[in-house]
Amino acid sequence: MAMVRRGETLTEVASSLGIARSLLQYWRHQARGRVA
């Protein structure tokens, strides 16, 4: 299945990584705000 939907998988992974990165940056920003 992963091989068949190679394009979709890559897109989903890229999207997931982008979302995770945004959430991580947001969380780190909130953490800094709380600590400060």
pLDDT in tens, 14-32: 999 999 999 999 999 998 8
Please say if the pLDDT value at position 10 is more than 90. no
Q: Provide the pLDDT confidence category of residue 11 given band limits of 50, 70 and 90.
A: confident
Under a CB-based contact definition with an 8 Å cutoff, are residues 9 and 2 in contact? yes
Whole-number Å distance between alpha carbons of 5 and 17: 18
Residue with tokens 């299945």: 1
Q: Is the pTM of this model over 0.85?
A: no
DSSP SS3 for 2: coil
| φ, ψ (nearest 5 deg) of residue 24 | -65, -45
Q: Is the pLDDT of residue 1 over 60?
A: no
Predicted local distance difference test score (pLDDT) of residue 3: 58
